[in-house]
Structure 1
Amino acid sequence: MYHVFDHMGIAVRSIDEALPFYINVLNGVLEDRYTSEAPGVEVHVAVVRTADNLIELLEPTNKNSPIARFIKQKGKGVHHIAYRVDDLDKAIEDAKEKGVRFLEDTLRTNARGRKLIYMNPASTEGTLVELCSYPEN
């Protein structure tokens, strides 16, 4: 099974303040912007494509959202990296067989149809890693 780099999630206090850097300096293009108020998510998202990467800017919608807690604990910056797989259920099963633990409550389909789950950072040497698949997969 392949694991292809899909995107990087970056926690920001304000998407409006962060966007100029990604658009004007990195020559990115704003591809999408949406809000997810799902419990345990609660985030504004701006999707920016640079020449060869996809970046999700993540702004908390309230002080109790996971992104707000992340910023409070670690500050702004890289929140997670995501890898696209062809079959998310199989990828989870394969990883579990290798001893990887998951944050089971993060398994969901986002507002744009991407199915995803986060690995427990204890299994990834401290990095929050998302596995995801898309409806066309």
Structure 2
Amino acid sequence: MSAQGLFTHIDHVGIAVRDLDEAISFYEEKYGMKMLHREENEEQGVAEAMMAVGDSTSCIQLLAPLNEKSTIAKFIEKNGVGIQQMAYRVESIDEVCATLKERGLRLLYPEPKRGTAGSRINFIHPKDAGGVLVELVEPNPEGMH
């Protein structure tokens, strides 16, 4: 796998918010975005909503903490609300993770985990990615329901 071709698209930008319903309303009413998917991820301690950016395949992911111990709650406490991560879409997360490890980058999980709508995800450690939490997303072939 070459340096080109690891990522296929910007999948989404994750935005940490305090109140998911309030944030959804803002993005719908002010920006005219449509919510594609909403779910709670107990394992990661977040309630999330994917908001479509026009007719593109890119989204804004709104992330609200389910409890004070979640990574999003800790992020908001430290940084306030705002951009929490940049997510790139990949075709094979297993291959991309192996390539990144070979290139000396640390991943947060030894194996990909379940993400939004049945996707598979992993993260590049921010200290290895210029201070940005980079998420890798292999979409669920069945899409968002």
TM-score of the superposed pair, with normalisation by structure 2? 0.86
Q: 1:22 to 1:36 in 2, by over 3 A?
A: same
Q: 31, 49, 52: which one pairs with 1:49? A: 52
Q: Show CA shifts across 1:79-104 (max 9, x none).
A: 11100111101101111121111112
Letter in 2 for 1:78: I
Task: Note the 1:24-63 alignment, pairs <5 A.
Answer: 24-38=29-43, 41-51=44-54, 52=56, 53-63=58-68
TM-score with structure 1 length normalisation? Answer: 0.91
Alpha-carbon distance, 1:15 to partner: 1.1
Q: Which moves more between the two structures, 55-64 or 21-30?
A: 21-30
Instruction: Name segments (4+ residues, structure 1) moved above 3 Å.
Output: none
Deviates more, 1:50-59 or 1:115-124: 50-59
Alpha-carbon RMSD: 1.7
Secondary structure class of the residue paired with 2:85:
strand
Match of 2:133 in 1: 128
8 Å Cα contact 1:114-1:133 kept in structure 2: yes
When residues 37 and 105 of structure 1 are mapped into structure 2, their CA distance, relative to the original with a 3 A threshold, is farther
Which residue, 100, 103, 128 being the options, matches 1:95? 100
Aligned counterparts, 1:82-121, within 5 A: 82-104=87-109, 107-110=112-115, 112-121=117-126
Cα distance between partner residues in 2 of 1:73 and 1:50: 28
| Structure 1 unaligned regions, length at least 5 | none
Aligned equivalents of 1:7 and 1:106: distance in 2?
21
Q: In 2, are the aligned partners of 1:28 and 1:48 still within 8 Å (CA)?
A: yes
Counterpart of 1:68 in 2: which secondary structure? helix
Deviation per residue, 1:42-94 (Å, 9 max, x gap): 11111110213301100000000110000001110011110011110110111
Partner of 2:67, secondary structure, is coil
Structure-2 separation of matches of 1:111 and 1:97? 27
SS in 2 for 1:72: helix
Identify if the C-alpha distance between structure 1 residues 32 and 135 changes in structure 2 by more than 3 Å, giving closer, same or farther. Answer: closer
Distance in 1 (CA, whole Å) between partners of 2:123 and 2:116 is 16
